[in-house]
Structure 1
């Protein structure tokens, strides 16, 4: 038997998350409700995810957005256990997003329910009846779009989530900007549009977030969506940090 110490397996997804400038990301998401993340999936990994879309055994449910008046296009909820990149990215992102979430809820005078570990938080969701998997693979074709909405799924909500573009903008698709619309207290709605680079993540507000005014901190509801695809095809991976009822 070798006396050498075993080398722990590499986790490229955690390394990519940890390489981000989280001070700058926190500042950006506090200002605008969303922030661009570094490349979280390699080109090869994005291709692999796109190819998974037709593997029916990997998914628990398929939603036709037009049928439900959610826009146009289709998305599928992954079964658990998740493919390794999904699980590893969620595990790596959660502790980085947790301080932002706790800060937001503290400013709003709300109780911060989330424990330090993602698995403990998901167990709380399951005990509350939210036991269905929530990672999503979305597919858009020409003229498809996603209506403004919020991914709530139950009473227990984590206030931040992440989306990753699996295609190359300008080559695989045109259009398809990621949209955020924030309703500020006693003010007009504010919108932002972001064209997500290939393989990069974008962290954004799930339900609402604190905004400061002369009267203190107030909750600003936020909805997200996707603008119309002008040409080509666009796939995205959505990572939600609470499970569904």
Structure 2
């Protein structure tokens, strides 16, 4: 876990913050090692790690499936969450101030989790997605109660052009 902590701390957070303010997202390459990615992928078949599996076609969320992790989270995922959160909370607080939203986030991830538990939001919302050929995820938002954090960290565990080809955002969709 030490290397992921060090990787997160060594990031150029002022540049990341600026990019988030400009674009609303940032791509951070190589935050996880190949071994860490493989560990997460191999865990997909371990049903004891998950509380729920969603087949996306059933809900018109796309083609593929995802699984919600259960508590306790795997150590790697918990470490990533607790290390990224304070940096992202600074950005979220700036966004809420700019939007005149009367809410601010503590700099401690555990405080957010405590707030969630106090409102009855006790289940883990961390998930892992799996796609096969032709798979995709439609744009949708999952909110599970009054308490939420306005950002997500997404990790691609496969290598584009090596593990898969294609992908991207469909720009020729039509509204009907």
Report which of the two has the higher share of strand: 1
> How far, CA to CA, are the matches of 1:33 and 1:53 in structure 2?
29
Indicate whether 1:153 and 2:171 are aligned: no
Task: Confirm whether residue 56 of structure 1 aligns to residue 53 of structure 2.
Answer: no
The counterpart of 1:91, out of the listed 82, 85, 92, is 82
What is the rounded CA distance, in whole Å, between the counterparts of 2:104 and 2:13 in structure 1?
A: 22
For 1:172, the equivalent position in structure 2 comes to: 163
Instruction: Determine which structure has the larger helix proportion and give its number.
Output: 2
Q: Tell whether 2:16 aligns with 1:25.
A: yes
Q: TM-score, normalised by structure 1?
A: 0.67
Q: Which residue of 2 aligns with 1:75?
A: 66
Q: Partners of 2:35 and 2:55 in 1: how far apart?
A: 27
Separation in 1, partners of 2:31, 2:142: 22
Runs of 4+ in structure 1 over 2 Å off: none
TM-score after normalising by structure 2: 0.92
Listed as ranges, the matches of 1:1-245 within 5 Å are 11-177=2-168, 179=169
Tell me the number of residue pairs that the alignment of Structure 1 and Structure 2 aligns: 171
- CA RMSD in angstroms comes to 1.6
Note the residue ranges of structure 2 that are not aligned, 5 or more in a row: 172-176
8 Å Cα contact 1:16-1:38 kept in structure 2: no
1:176 is displaced (CA, Å) by 2.6
Counterpart residue number, 2:174: none
Structure 1: tracts of 5 or more residues without a match: 1-9, 181-190, 192-245
